[in-house]
């Protein structure tokens, strides 16, 4: 473990892989999407203040929702309710499957902007 913070790219890559943004070795999650309290290797508290990652998670969900709404307007299915159902299912799958990835990025960004190292 080095004394300086990793680069933005390194920290984000670690977050996407579900690893500690500081050391890259400890796992972020216990199970599929339950964030551990701290890194078992270097001791970094992943979310020292409750809700630190909330804004990023909210904005990334809102952004994906906006893209899906635009797609819904661009696609002109023959049967409207079928098109809406397809977009709704795609939205649920996309948001659900990307949740741990987005949370990993949020933890990495929170670590990079925090004053503590």
Over residues 53-111, the pLDDT tens digits come to 889 999 999 999 898 888 888 878 888 888 888 888 988 999 999 999 999 999 999 99
**Does 3 reside within a domain?**
no
Assess if residue 52 is contained within a domain. Answer: yes
Task: Provide CB contacts within 8 A for 27, sequence distance 6+.
Answer: 18, 19, 20, 36, 40
Residue at 1 is within a domain: no
Domain region containing 92: 8-113
6-9, Cβ contacts within 8 angstroms, sequence gap of 24 or more: 8/112
Tokens of residue 72, six digits? 């819904």
Q: What is the pTM of this model?
A: 0.82
Number of domains forming the structure of the chain: 1
- Rounded Cα–Cα distance for residues 82 and 86 (Å): 6
Q: Residue 92 falls within a domain, yes or no?
A: yes
Token pair belonging to 36: 């551990």
């Amino acid at each position: 473990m080095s004394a300086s913070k990793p680069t933005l790219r390194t920290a984000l890559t670690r977050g996407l892989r579900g690893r500690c943004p500081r050391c890259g070795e400890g796992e972020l999650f216990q199970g599929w999407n339950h964030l551990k309290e701290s890194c078992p290797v270097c001791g970094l508290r992943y979310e020292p203040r409750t809700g630190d990652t909330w804004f990023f998670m909210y904005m990334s969900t809102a952004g994906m929702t906006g893209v899906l709404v635009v797609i819904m307007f661009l696609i002109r299915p023959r049967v409207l309710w079928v098109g809406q159902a397809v977009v709704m299912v795609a939205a649920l799958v996309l948001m659900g499957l990307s949740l741990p990835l987005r949370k990993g990025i949020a933890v990495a960004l929170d670590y990079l902007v925090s004053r503590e190292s």
